[in-house]
């Protein structure tokens, strides 16, 4: 019997701490989000955190500063977390589970455009920075990692330009 091609359509990247320093346009760096996302071990076990602060607003609301625990989380992800979740860790996990392609969505960057006081041009700059980083990340995936670009809709014309540019 032939093998089916499998696509994971809802995986998430773990954005690196230096994303904004490297990818955000210099004129927006003073307003850069503060993103802390990843996994760590404490006395309860191995957990996930996703803390974002934009314009003085902490997100996600109700979970900022919270370590989420789940059964077997460490068994599944600790080796990749220790490595910093490089593209190669996604490929290794895909090979182990028989996944051919993986569509990647943001994690911390889900929240970077949620502060209502963020100006349209700043929000668009956040998305350009994230999309540029995502492109570089997926380029290391030998065509198997597919980045789902992010858009901000405060300025529909800019969102359309970014959609075309990201593709």
Question: Is 73 a residue whose pLDDT tops 60?
Answer: yes
Q: pLDDT-based confidence at 3, cuts 50/70/90?
A: low
133 vs 72: which has the higher pLDDT = 133
Q: pLDDT-based confidence at 124, cuts 50/70/90?
A: very high
Q: pLDDT-based confidence at 1, cuts 50/70/90?
A: very low
> How far apart, in Å, do the first and last CA atoms of the chain sit?
36
Q: For residues 140 and 88, is the Cβ–Cβ distance under 8 A?
A: yes
Q: What long-range pairs does 3-10 form, CB within 8 A, spacing at least 24?
A: 3/98, 5/100, 5/101, 6/98, 6/99, 6/100, 6/101, 7/99, 7/100, 7/101, 7/102, 7/103, 8/94, 8/99, 8/101, 8/102, 8/103, 9/103, 10/103, 10/105
Q: Give the mean pLDDT of 25-52.
A: 93
Q: Which two tokens stand for residue 73?
A: 């989380």
CA distance 162 to 167: 8
9 vs 61: which has the higher pLDDT = 9
Q: pLDDT-based confidence at 139, cuts 50/70/90?
A: very high
What digits encode the pLDDT tens for the residues 78-116? Answer: 889 989 999 999 999 999 999 999 999 999 999 999 888
Question: Residue 158 region, left (φ>0) first, then alpha (ψ -120 to 50), else beta?
Answer: alpha
pTM of the model: 0.93
Q: Residue 64's pLDDT is what?
A: 85
Question: Is 148 a residue whose pLDDT tops 80?
Answer: yes
Q: How many residues does the chain have?
A: 167
């Amino acid at each position: 019997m032939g093998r089916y091609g499998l696509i994971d359509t809802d995986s998430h990247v773990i954005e690196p701490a230096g994303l904004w320093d490297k990818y955000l346009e210099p004129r927006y760096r003073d307003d850069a989000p503060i993103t802390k996302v990843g996994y760590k071990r404490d006395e309860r076990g191995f957990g996930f955190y996703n803390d974002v602060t934009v314009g003085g607003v902490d997100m996600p609301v109700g979970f900022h500063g919270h370590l989420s625990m789940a059964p077997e989380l460490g068994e599944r992800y600790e080796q990749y977390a220790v490595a910093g979740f490089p593209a190669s860790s996604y490929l290794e996990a895909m090979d182990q589970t028989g996944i051919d392609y993986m569509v990647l969505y943001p994690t911390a960057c889900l929240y970077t455009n949620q502060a209502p006081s963020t100006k349209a041009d700043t929000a668009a700059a956040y998305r350009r920075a994230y999309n540029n980083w995502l492109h570089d990340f997926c380029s290391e995936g030998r065509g198997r990692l597919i980045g789902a670009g992010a858009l901000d809709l405060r300025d529909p014309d800019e969102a359309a330009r970014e959609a075309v540019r990201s593709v």
